Structures are given as C-alpha cells and as structure tokens.
Structure 1
Amino acid sequence: MIMSRPAGIGSVKPVDWAYDRAPMIIYWELTTACGLACRHCRASAQLEPPPGELTHDEALHILDQVADFGSPMPHVIMTGGDPMRRFDLDELIAEARNRGIGVSLSPAVTPLLTKQRIADMAALGVQAMSLSLDGSTPEHHDGVRQVPGTFEATLQALADANEVGMPMQINTLVTDTTVADLEDIYELLKGYKLFQWSLFFLISVGRGAQLREMTPGDAERTLIEWNKRRPDAPFRIKTTEAMQYRRIIAQRLLRAGQTEEQIINSPASRGFGIRDGNGIMFISHLGEVMPSGFLPTSVGNVRDRSIVELYRDTELMRALRRPDGFKGDCGICEFNRWCGGSRARAYAWTGDPLESDPLCPYKPAAAKAGVHTQHPGTSQSPAVSGATA
C-alpha cells in the first residue's frame, strides 16, 4: 500500500502505538442496576440487577486475571449502571488494591453517592472518580438524566469530592442539541477542581440511539475550537469516541513548527493511539469481553476463557490494533497511528468496526492521490468518511 504523508509526518521512525501486551484501561461494568434512566445510556440500565450477573467469586477471578497481564497492569475503571449498587463493591476495590491494581470509579449521581461514601472510596484506595455533567442548568442536565434534582446533586457531589480530596473527571455528552451548551458548562466547571474534562461524542448504542450525533463538519469545528482553548484551560480537555481530536492537535502543532518527534515526546501525545480494542477493553456485567462498551461485539466470556487470551489473541482485538488494515480513509490516513478513528461509531453506522469513522471529514493525502485500501475477500467500495445518516 502506498502511503503519502504531509510534511512533518513520517520524518522519524514510526511509533508503535499497538497495545498488544495489555490494555491500559479495563472498563468493568459491575452491574446494570441504576437509579437513573439517562436518555443516552449505553447499558440501558434498569432499577434492579438482571439475572446472570457475575458472582462475587467470579469477580475475584477477574481480578486475578487482570494481574496475569503482568507489569505494568491495566487500570480498572469500575462502572455500570451504577457501581454503587453492586453488593460487594467495597470488597472488590480492596481486593483489587491488594493485587496492586489501580482502581477508578464511575458512579451515578443518586442518593447512594453521599459525601461519606466518597470519603470511603478514597480510604479504600480509589484513585479517581468521574461524574457526568450534561448541561449548565437543571433544565439541560436533568432533561438528559430524566430525574429532577440530578443537576444540583451532581454539583454537590463534585464539591464533596473536592473537599475530601478525591481526584475528579467530568464527562459531558456532545450531540447536535447539547453542543451549544459546552461553553456554559466549561465556565461552570472552572469553579471546581478537576483534573480532566472529557467530551463524549455520542455513539448511537443502547438508549443513545434515540439521540442525534453531530454532523462531521460541526464535529470538526467543535474539536478545533476546544483544541484552541486546551492550552489555557485549568484542566485537561480530552474526547471520548472522537479520536480525530488527536489529528487536530497534531495538525496545529505541525503548523506551529513542531516536528513529529517533538509532538510524540510532548504531553500533547497523551492518549495517542488508544481506542476501542487497542489499549481499551470492556467486561460486561455478564462477563462478556468487548473492545469497549460502545462497541458491543463480544470476543468471548470470562466464564470460559482468560481475559488475557481474549484481549491478546482474538481476531477482532488483533485487527483493531492494526490501523493500516482499516478500510476506507481511516486505513490510508497519514494520522491513523495517532488517531485510528472511532471503531465503535464505524460499527454503529456500518456494522463493520474496521470501516472508516463516519464522523471524521478529513481527506487523507493518499485518498486525494487516488490510493485506495484493498482487503482480501471484499470487492465493495469503502465507506465515505464524511457520510451522514
């Protein structure tokens, strides 16, 4: 395959951002029970846990398998549903820490999330927590969460976490209807202490299929704008399922005169290459292992096979770690080692996780030169990366 790169790309030895040995992060859905009914919920959570959730002994076995990855071990983010509704949460955190596994927590904002419980989590060794804030007013946020009072409760939980010294990340949903509120959310968050603000660009899975994603052009403009704001922000600004943010960061730095090597060795490269199946793995409440919670294709179950084997050796996981094998523009893009596109969105739109990310409008240099990817066993044309539903 011919690869044409713009000036500044490919001038140094390619960086191997393939996380073959182990994921950096394991998202572990402890339960789908939750007291909220969020409009975009990936898990389609319900009030009570469903039959078949992993037992306590099975959960401990998962922790043993995480340790089997060796050093450095993946960091485990316990999520849901609402992990606060998992009956053995405290013990699982303690057992993870006993094995040397780093743990973060992503709870729902319900009456279970008290200041005392946040302090308890800190005492158990939870290294960080994340909360969701999807609007700058009760009308906006509670309209997404569908439980009145959640906006004020979220701000109170954030203040409580600041007081007890729990490092905090805030996650914000980005859709065609919420994007206009980002500026006001940003101004609101500046009044609190957090280490990171993550802009989650909607994937149409679970109840999120009821909402609308942004158009590629609008998404690109939004990412460019927040990249401009990034250097002066009081906290890191990252994206979830909008990997092209890394391309935009790199393009701006290249225009400013930085070399590829300088970019690779700078803090700006934090997260480069990480995506579904490459540095990321998801374990469901039923033990199904997937590239991510937003790419709901199981590669096997922890009840039958080791998570180490499922991550390292299954065909889909291995394919997701080879961006030159992606289809369409993502496969020939000069930034694909750094970005790689959202594999979850490609799957949601086309049914093929190796297709181009339909939210990215960027046209690679090779595509402009008429170069196309070829994949054995298929004669179909690759998806157009700027397509809209």
Structure 2
Amino acid sequence: MQQFNPNQKLIYNPELRFRKEEHRCVAYTIDDFFYSPDKVSILLPQEVIMLLLFDGEHTFSEVASNMAYVFGMETNDDVDYKKVLFNSLEALEKRTNIQPLVMDIAEVEASLIKQTQDRYNDPSAFIIPKEKIIFDPRDLRLSAPLSVNYNVMTSCGFKCKYCYHPLVPVKELIPLERLNIVFKELKETGCESFMLTGGDPMLRPDIDELMQSLYEHGLLYSLSTKSIISEERIKKLREKAGLRGMQISLDAADGTIVRNVLGITDDEYFSKAIQMIKNLQKYGIEVRVKAVLTSYNADGLADYLNLLNDLGIKRMQVVQYGRSGTRHTDDLYPSDEQMKRASEVVRKFKEAHKDVELTAGGFEKAYDEPVIVEQVTKENIFEKRAICNAGRFSLTLMPNGEVFICEQLPYDKRYVLGDLKTQSLAECWNGELMQKWLNPPARNIFSENSPCKTCPEEYYNECHKVYSRCLRFIYEHTGDTLTADIKCPRYHFEKRRIT
C-alpha cells in the first residue's frame, strides 16, 4: 500500500460503492464501462464510515483526527492516530483486494470528485447498532442482487468458431410490460446495472424499447453485440435510451479472416462494422472492441491493434481462446510461436500507446489440473475455490424471465432458480429454488464415484453454503454437473489444456 503525506488531501476511490444491509455493510467497485459490480466485500459499519471521511476536503492528518473523534477514541499523545488509520486502511485493502481504497485528489478529475462527494452525503446513515451486527466476510448472500446478467436471447445470427454459449433455443420472451415491473423492483432494492448479452441481444424485436426502459428506470446497462446497427438507430438509442457505450466483437483487420471466424458469408460485414464504429463515435457513444486470439488471427495482431488505434478506440481487449463445454477444436489454439509473438506485439503497443486501455498479454498455454495436497485439511480444502455469485449478489436472467445459475450452462430446468415472469423479485430471490441452490443437496443426486458421496459433513455444508460448486466447469469436464467442483482436492481428473 502506498504511503501518504500527512498534508495530502485524499478521497475514497470513485469506483467504490457501499450498501447498508440489516446486519452488515457491503463494499464493491463499479467500472466505468460495463458498470458491473466487482470485488464484493463485507465491511463493518465503522469501516465504511472511516472511508467516507476521505471526502477530498481534508488532509490525511485531519482525517486521522476526525476518525479518533467520530469513534470516541481517547485523546492520548502517545497514540499516533495517523498510524492507526494507515494500518486500518492497509488491513482493509488486503482483506477486500480493492486497491487503492483512497486516492490523492490530484489523481482524480474534478467532475468525478464532485460526484464522489455527493454520492453519500451522510456517513452516519451506515450506522448499525452493535447488537445487530453479524460479520462474516465470506457470507456474500445479499438481501437483493447488485447486478443482472441478462441473457436477452439464446439465439444468434453468427456461427463463431470460438463461441462458448450453449445457444439452446429459449423461444418464449418475457414481455416488456412485465420487465418494466421487474426493473422498478430492482432499482428500488439497490441494483446497479444490467449486462445485456446473449446470444445476440439485438435479435429481441423490442430491444430498443427495453434499453429505453432501463434508462428511464435509472439502471445502468452495457451492451455487447456483433450485429450491424444503422446510423439512424444509433442516434435514437443515444437520445432515447441513453446509450453510453457498446462493446463490439471484431477479431481481425482482415475481412476474410473475420468472415471465416464468425462463420458468415457477407463480404461487406467488415466494412459495415468499421462504419458502425465511426457512427457510434459520431454520436458520443464510447466503443470498446474485443477480439479472441486464435490461430486464425494471431499473426495479424499488430495490424489489428493499429487499425483500432487509427479509429480512435481507447478501450481494447484481446482474450486468448479458451476451451468451452459446448464447442471446441484444437486448431483454434494459437501455436507457441504465435503466442510468443502476440505477447510481444501487445507489450510494444502498450509501451507506445499509454493513453489506450488494452486488456491483453501474457498469452500462453494453460491447463485444468487436479488440486494436489498431501492431506486434505480445513485449511486447504477451499484454498483454490471461488465464491459463486449466483443468488448471492448477482442474478442471471434468461429470455423467458427465468432466473438461471449460469449462462454458460445448457438450458435445463435443473438450473432454474426462479421465474420473474410470475414471481416478484423478493419471491424469486428468497424462494424455494434459490434456497435449494444455496444449501447442500441430497447426496443421492451425485454419481457413485463422486467424492461428494463421502465428503465429511463439515466440508460438504461449507462447500455448498459458502462457495457453491462451479457447475459450468464441472459440465465442461463431465458433460453433466453431478460431481465435485474441479478445484476440490478430493476430486481427481486427467489434466487437460484449456487455452
């Protein structure tokens, strides 16, 4: 953690957001493009209040004195409250993995400082009576979702070679009239944002009206598509739906390669996509362009990045192709030499273009392999596990209004957690299917050779209540979901390449 000058004026990170729950507080970050909550962490009320004391108006030394006063610390010349404050920040950064928690105001735009100062006018609003506080940093089950991953359509007009989506048809669509009610409920319970994905969200007939409704309900949203959108439509989406940014997938600077990778026959698609980017920029809509690095486009990466730079794109992402559970061929993997050259191209581009946010680099082979420990213990059994966000702080919505565990699973009623077409948000979020997902299942659902059958009760309960098994990765390995999480050291499988 960086050191602070006692006279530095600091403000809490503008990407930070806070929520007060009945028994604890929640902190998370919101990025300025996808608006998606990240690094969700449980905080004590006093930790939130401490951070809000960094209002950009006071120096570090003054904040330390204010903290001592607010928390009723005894005045003592032998106590260095600046050190107490620094140690508290350092410990909180380590626990939440949110860095930095506070920033020098010189590093923050003036308009952003004002927004940050106005976001939480009264730190005392986060006070919770001591006797009501329940603090468990691993319990990420919130009273309502922070975000929605809306799988608007499970169909798509492209046949991308690298696509991970199951694309199982879900024909019935939740009506916009019903969505208007859902959007209102979500906004009232503190939902931050929607990520509109698919399939291709632009295939929903009333998608423009849907985006307008999100905008009118004050819900931030991001849109990812490969569809070509006309200039007139772009203009209307900017004016009526408040469209601020769009992610476009374009995999190469060569139109022939693009057509091949996307599985399309339109000879003019590439030129249309370039024109669409220019039209989006014309109406003040920020464009983020993403590519998947495969053996087909790796050799042209330098030309691709230079093309985007010439177009004025300031946000780019190149992700290495990864195996999925739906479709895969080994020829998509870039060769070792291609990955080495591509990594060098990225390094040089980043060095030459400091003003561009390029998320890429370090391309190399990666493998799924079993977690090996000498002896399974309470300390190591969950060491490699991540906490699934489904039903804890996020919600995946399917085209028909059903709530689903994960969009990367094939459509199956086993993975449905509720139905917002017929249930209120509260009924769905706290319903029987959701509770079933968040609690240990009966062991008889598992295959005979599954370690879940014989897992000690203590581990078995914690596995499902705190973490949940990652069904997506289990499905990719086995074609079903009836065994242990692949990061469980009690589960053994053959090592296999994934990137």
TM-score, normalised by the number of residues in structure 2: 0.49
The one of 232, 238, 242 equivalent to 2:359 is: 238
Residue 193 in structure 1 maps to residue 309 in structure 2: no
1:198 CA drift (Å): 2.8
2:235 maps to 119
C-alpha spacing 1:229/1:311, structure 2 compared with 1 (3 Å): farther
Q: How many residues align?
A: 305
Q: Is the 8 A contact 1:28 1:77 kept in 2?
A: yes
CA contact (8 A) 1:203 1:294 kept: no
- The answer on 1:388 being equivalent to 2:469 is no
Pick closer, same or farther for the CA change 1:55–1:170 going to 2, 3 Å: same
Q: Does structure 1 conserve the Cα–Cα contact (< 8 Å) formed by 2:165 and 2:408?
A: no
2:183 is equivalent to residue 63 of structure 1:
yes
- Is the 1:78–1:106 contact (alpha carbons within 8 Å) kept by the matching residues of 2? yes
Answer yes or no: is 1:26 the counterpart of 2:148: yes
Matches of 1:161 and 1:304 in 2, distance apart?
Answer: 37
1:183 to 297, 302, 305: 302
Structure 2 residue 203 is matched with structure 1 residue 80: no
Task: Identify the match of residue 168 of structure 1 among 267, 273, 287.
Answer: 287
* 118 and 12 in structure 1: CA distance in 2 versus 1, 3 angstrom threshold: closer
Q: Give the alignment partner of residue 211 of structure 2, picking from 75, 85, 93.
A: 93
SS for the counterpart of 2:317 is: strand
Question: Distance in 2 between the 1:311 and 1:233 partners?
Answer: 43
Query: Secondary structure at the residue paired with 2:251?
Result: coil
* Greater RCO, 1 or 2 (C-alpha within 8 Å, sep 6+): 1
Aligned equivalents of 2:193, 2:393: Cα separation in 1: 10
Of the three residues 388, 393, 396, the one matched with 1:282 is 396
> 1:88 and 1:349 mapped to 2: Cα distance?
37
Per the TM alignment, residue 186 of structure 1 is displaced from its structure 2 partner at its CA by 1.6
Check conservation: 1:83, 1:107, Cα contact below 8 A. yes
The answer to whether 1:102 aligns with 2:220 is yes
Structure 2, unaligned runs of 5 or more: 1-89, 97-136, 367-385, 441-451, 453-469
Say if 1:170 and 1:198, in contact at 8 Å, map to a contact too.
yes
Letter in 1 for 2:292: L
- What is the match of residue 251 of structure 2? 134
Give the aligned residue type for 1:114: S
**Letter paired with 1:286:** N
1:156 to 266, 269, 275: 275
Between the aligned partners of 2:397 and 2:341, the Cα distance in structure 1 is: 31
Structure 1, gaps ≥5 residues long = 1-8, 246-272, 320-326, 328-341, 358-372, 375-379
Q: Is the 8 A contact 1:104 1:129 kept in 2?
A: yes
- Deviations, residues 273-297 of structure 1 (Å, cap 9, x unaligned): 8986476543221233334422447
Cα distance in 2, alignment partners of residues 184 and 136 from structure 1: 6
Cross-structure match for 1:267: none
Amino acid at match of 1:282: T
Moved more, 230-239 or 154-163: 230-239
- Structure 1 position 192, deviation (Å): 2.0
**Residues 59/145 of structure 1: CA separation in 2 closer, same or farther (3 Å cut):** same
In the alignment, what sits opposite 1:39?
161
Deviation at 1:204, TM superposition (A): 2.2
Aligned CA distance change for structure 1 residues 315 and 199 (closer, same or farther; 3 Å)? farther
Residues 227 and 66 of structure 1: CA distance in aligned 2, closer, same or farther (over 3 Å): farther
Give TM-score scaled by structure 1 length.
0.61
**Conservation of the 8 A alpha-carbon contact between 2:156 and 2:199:** yes
SS of the equivalent of 2:95 reads: coil
SS of residue matched to 1:38: coil
Distance 1:62 1:102 in 2: 15
For the aligned residue pairs, the C-alpha RMSD in angstroms reads 4.6
- Write the deviation string for residues 47-80 of structure 1: whole angstroms up to 9, x where unpaired: xx86322222333343234325x33x23112233
Relative distance call for 1:228 and 1:10 in structure 2 (3 A) is: farther
Percent identity, please. 18
Is this contact kept in 1: 2:202–2:227, CA < 8 A? no
Amino acid paired to 1:153: K
Q: Is 2:298–2:342's contact at 8 Å kept on the other side of the alignment?
A: no
SS of the residue aligned with 2:318?
A: strand
Change (3 A) 1:144 1:306: farther
Select between 223-232 and 169-178 the one with higher mean Cα deviation: 223-232
Q: 1:14 to 1:50 in 2, by over 3 A?
A: closer
3-state secondary structure, aligned to 2:304: helix
- Higher alpha-carbon Rg: 2
Q: How far apart in 1 are the matches of 2:493 and 2:328?
A: 21
